Each structure stands twice: as C-alpha cells, then as structure tokens.
Structure 1
Amino acid sequence: MRFNKLDLNLLVALDVLLKERSVTRSADVLNMSPSAMSNALGRLRDYFEDELLVQIGRKMELTPRAEGLQDAVRDVLLRIDSNVAAPPVFDPRTSDRTFRIFASDYTQWVLGPALMTLAARQKAAVRFEFSPQVDQPHRYLERGEADLLIIPTGFMSPDHPTEVLYRENFVCMVWRDGALAGGKLNFERYVAAEHAVMQPAGGRGDAFEGWFLKRYGVTRRIAAMTYSFVTLPALLVGTDRVATVHERVARQVAGVWPLEIVPTPVDIHPMEQAMQWHQFRANDPGLTWLRGLVVAAAKLMDEV
C-alpha cells in the first residue's frame, strides 16, 4: 500500500531503524536480511531526501530530520495497530498476548499477588511482563513499549486516560532494638536521625515520600540508599536509622524482620496509585480486559 508515493510497509522498517540505530539489529528485529534492510533504508533516504542515519565513529546517529520523524512514525503505527490491526474480540483463555506493565517493585509486591490470582482464576493464557518505573513513563506508552503504567498520579501525563486504583499511606520504620524504638518519633528526633531512602534507578528524582517531605523544608541525613522500595526496611536492621515506607509494605515486612512501625512525625498525604494507558488504545479489547483485572486486583489485594 502506498500513500503519497511512500510504501507504507517502509514505515515499519523506519520505526525500527530509528529505535535500533543499526541496520543489522533492525534486520534481526524484523526477521529480514541485512541487505534487505539496507535496501529499505536506501528507499527511505530517497523518499525523505535525507540520510536519516549517519555513521559517527562506531555508532549510527539520527539526523535532525530523523529525530523529527521518530514520534510521528510511532504515533501512526500505534494508531494502525490500535484501530485497524487489533482483533475485535479478546479471550484471555486462548490469547498468547504479552502485556507489558511498567510498575515499581512496591506495586508488584502489593498488587501483583491479587493480579496473578485473578488471572489464574480466569485460566488466562496471557503473559505479564513487568518493567521498572522509569523517568517520563508516558514516553513508553507513546512509543508502544508499554501497555499500562501503574504509578502515582503525580507522575502521570495529562495527555492519556487514567484511573485511580487505591490510596496508600506512609509510616516510619525503625529497628525494634534501636534507640528510636519504643517511643514516639517526634519531628526533632526524625530530622536528627540518619535515614535510609529509596532512590529511583539512574538517580532521576525522588520517590513520592521524598518529594513530599521536601515540601515541608525537611532535609534528611541520608545514610543508606537503595533502588528498591521493598528492601528498604531491611537496611534498618541493627541500626538507629529510620525509613519512611509505604504502609502496606511496612505491615508485611514487620513480620519478617525485627522492625517496628511508628507514625510519621509530619503529615504526609496519602499517595494515589493509578493506572494509565494510551488514548488511542482505549477501545483495545485486550487492554480493556487487563484494566478490569487490575481494578479488581486493587479491590482484592488487601485480602490476598
């Protein structure tokens, strides 16, 4: 099929080339020979009258024209996939679809068991692929690399639909044999103490509680840092440190490690955890099923 003299099949090749920035890797992704992919790149260069990919040292880099095309091409292909190529019906018992969900280890810890339980009850044959929370997660929706985001509402894009799933409170945790245990953790002791914190991978930004605490003008003395919400409390054992933790995680790990839960000395508003999907895929029957499953899991998760 052609549009304005462009073979639309070449858009798929262009999309992969712009992502992989390699003729060889792109050929592997599309199960083509390198020579066929090289030929496709040549035709694309002729059509756009631009090199698109240029060799700089040992790498291929995008030209300014190619960078401008990247989002537009992905957008067109996503529209086609969502509105034309998607099957009109979806049966989770027979589908071999893989759903890609971007969610933190905290989300997988508290919501994952209920989600897997409900999928098993429906005898769903689908696969779930969880990826870690990232900077600018909406970009992964727009590139078609994520089917669903499950993240706090404050990190969501205003350009795509969202649905709040549940609210999460925060508490503090301390080692039960430490100096901070057995009494009220007031503001002065909290600020003076050493803290263990979660820092998103790559050092980009703060976790929700860190961002919120900064609004109070609180500067914490950070003694230990981890990329994981779930393992954060473990860094308190044998120390006089404190960590500000999701309440659901705290209540579960308090029975595993010798830790004590104490109220936060500052008022931290509950976190709203929500899911977000691409606006073009609102009517995707498979994604509609997944969203319903996640909503049901959020209602069930405190019982599993």
Structure 2
Amino acid sequence: MHFNGLDLNLLVALDVLLTERNITLASRRLHLSQSAASGALARLRDYFGDELLTQVGRRMVLTPLGESLAAPVRDILLRVETTVQTRPQFDPASARHHFKLLMSDYVATVLMTRAIPRLQRAAPGVTLEMLPYSDRQWEALERGEVDFLIMPTQYLQADHPAEPLFEDSYTCIAWSGNDRVGESITLEQYLASGHVTVRFGPQRLPAYDEWFFARYGHVRQFEVITTSFNAIPQFVVGTSRIATMHRRLANFYRDFLPLKLVEPPVEMPRLTEAIVWHQYREHDPASLWLREALKQAAAPFAGDDRSVNAPG
C-alpha cells in the first residue's frame, strides 16, 4: 500500500534503520538479507531526497533529516501497534499475552515474588519478562520496547501516566558481628564507615540513598559497588562495612543472614514505587488488568514496612 507515493511497508524499515544505524543489525531485526535492507534504504533515500544515514569513519550517523524523522516515525508505528493489538476486553483466564516490565531487582524480590503466583492462577497463559534498569529506560517505554516501568516516584516524567504501588522506608544494615555498630549509629560513625552501594547501567546511575546524602553534602566511603540490591546484604556480612537500603528487603534478608538493622543517622524521606505505562496504552484492557493485579499484590504492604514477599 502506498501513501503519497511512499510504500508504507518502508516505514518499518525506516524506523529500524534510524534506530540501529547499521545495515547488518537492521537486516537482522527486519528478518531481511543485507542486500534487501540496503535496497530499502536506497528506496527511502530516493523518496526523501536525502541520504538519511551517512558513513562517518566506521559508523553511520543520521543526517539532520534522519534525526528529525526518527521520533515521529517511531510514534506513528507505536500508535498503529497499540491500535491493532488492543482488544475490546481482556479475559485473563484464556488470554495469551506477554508483558515486559523494567524494574530493579529490589522490586522483583519484594513485589513480583508475591504477584507471580497470583498471576499464574488468574492468567495461566500470560507470561512476564522482567528487565533491569538501564540508562535508556524512558526511550524503551516510548518506543514500545517495554510495557511498564516500575520506579521511585521522584524519577517520574510527566509524559506518561503513572500510579503508586507501594511505599517503603530506609534502614542501615550491618553484620551482626560488627562491634562498631550498636543499637544506633551517629552521623560521624556513619560517615567514617565503609559503605556498600548499588549503581545501574553503563552510566553507573546511583541509587536514591547515594543521591540523598550527596545532596546534603555528606561524603561517604564506597568500598563495594554492585549492580544488585540483593547483593548488598551479602557483601556486608563478615565485614565492618554498612549499607543503607530498603527496609522490606533488609527484613527479608535478616531472616537468613546474620544482620542487624539500625535507623539511619538522619531522617530520610519515604520511598514510593510507582508503575508507569505509555500514554497510548492508557485504556488498553490488558494493560489495565496487569496494573490492577499488581496493585492488589501490593495492597498488603500498606502501612507496614516489615511486610516482605509472601507468595500467595
């Protein structure tokens, strides 16, 4: 089908080419040979009267026109995708649906271990794929590569709707054999201690506690940096190091690791985790169903930071 002389099938090729900026990678995503992908690019160049991508050294870069086309073309295709995928209703008992959710391993441990057994009973044909944080999470949502983000509310953007799921607070943890930490910890002791922390993605984005203390000019000594919240308690045990982490996750690990929990030396704001979805999926029945199911799974957390994952 053609529109104003453009073969509409080429829109998909255009989107992939502008995203990958590599003929080989684009051909794989399009399930085409490299010569066919090159042919599609040639036809697009002819239609737009522009190179769209040019070779600079060993890589291809977008021309100004290519840059200006990338976002609107992706937006058009996402609108089409969400329109044709939407059904008038969603029956979880019989549905075959795959959801992709981007979240921290903290949320996966605390919330999803509670939610998944319930989801399987209610919707045995629904599958879930949980992906880790990255430095392009908003791009992934906007491109339709993931269905949901679950993240702290202070990181939300106004472009897409969101809804709170649950709250948590922060605690300090130490090995139970660490005699430098008693039933409480002063700010001086806290700053003098070695810390375990977590950072995300290629840009090494800090967790909230690191941002919070740096904001008030408190410099901590980071002696162990990991990519996983779940690794933090394990890296504290057997050492004199401490960490600041989510209370629910700390309580979960205290059940089988020799840990002690103490209040942070300064009052920290509570954390609210929210679920975010693309505005185009606002009224999609499948999206609505999963959002509600996760809210129900998180409901027992209300007002109790000690509550952790309890399958069922």
**TM-score, structure 2 length as denominator?**
0.91
1:275 aligned onto 2:275 = yes
For residues 109 and 47 of structure 2, the distance between their equivalents in structure 1, rounded to whole angstroms, comes to 49
Letter in 1 for 2:252: Q
Q: How far 1:93 moved relative to its partner?
A: 3.7
| RMSD (Å), alpha carbons | 1.8
Q: CA distance change for structure 1 residues 75 and 232 in 2, over 3 Å: closer, same or farther?
A: same
Q: Please give the per-residue CA displacement for 1:270-294, whole angstroms capped at 9, x wherever unaligned.
A: 1110011111111222211121121
Q: Which residue of 2 aligns with 1:77?
A: 77
Q: Which residue of 2 aligns with 1:249?
A: 249
Q: Which residue of 2 aligns with 1:140?
A: 140
State the percentage of identical aligned residues.
Answer: 42
Letter in 2 for 1:185: I
For residues 84 and 144 of structure 2, the distance between their equivalents in structure 1, rounded to whole angstroms, comes to 15
Say how many residue pairs are matched.
304
Q: Does the CA-based 8 Å contact 2:197-2:224 persist in structure 1?
A: yes
Q: Which residue of 1 aligns with 2:291?
A: 291
Q: Which residue of 2 aligns with 1:120?
A: 120
Higher mean C-alpha displacement, 260-269 vs 17-26: 17-26
Letter in 1 for 2:256: V
1:92 aligned onto 2:88 = no
Higher mean C-alpha displacement, 101-110 vs 279-288: 279-288
Q: Does the CA-based 8 Å contact 1:103-1:133 persist in structure 2?
A: yes
User: Where does the alignment leave 5 or more consecutive residues of structure 2 unmatched?
Assistant: 302-306
What SS does structure 1 have at the residue aligned with 2:202?
helix
Q: Which residue of 1 aligns with 2:264?
A: 264
What SS does structure 1 have at the residue aligned with 2:177?
coil
Q: Does the CA-based 8 Å contact 1:176-1:182 persist in structure 2?
A: no
Q: Which residue of 1 aligns with 2:21?
A: 21
1:103 aligned onto 2:88 = no
Q: Does the CA-based 8 Å contact 1:114-1:300 persist in structure 2?
A: no
Q: Does the CA-based 8 Å contact 2:135-2:201 persist in structure 1?
A: no
What SS does structure 2 have at the residue aligned with 1:230?
helix
Higher mean C-alpha displacement, 263-272 vs 112-121: 112-121
What SS does structure 2 have at the residue aligned with 1:183?
coil
Q: Which residue of 2 aligns with 1:44?
A: 44
Q: Which residue of 1 aligns with 2:67?
A: 67
For residues 194 and 163 of structure 1, the distance between their equivalents in structure 2, rounded to whole angstroms, comes to 36
What SS does structure 1 have at the residue aligned with 2:206?
coil
User: Where does the alignment leave 5 or more consecutive residues of structure 1 unmatched?
Assistant: none
**TM-score, structure 1 length as denominator?**
0.93
Higher mean C-alpha displacement, 81-90 vs 156-165: 81-90
Q: Does the CA-based 8 Å contact 1:194-1:222 persist in structure 2?
A: yes
Q: Does the CA-based 8 Å contact 1:174-1:180 persist in structure 2?
A: no
Q: Does the CA-based 8 Å contact 1:162-1:276 persist in structure 2?
A: yes
Q: Which residue of 2 aligns with 1:5?
A: 5
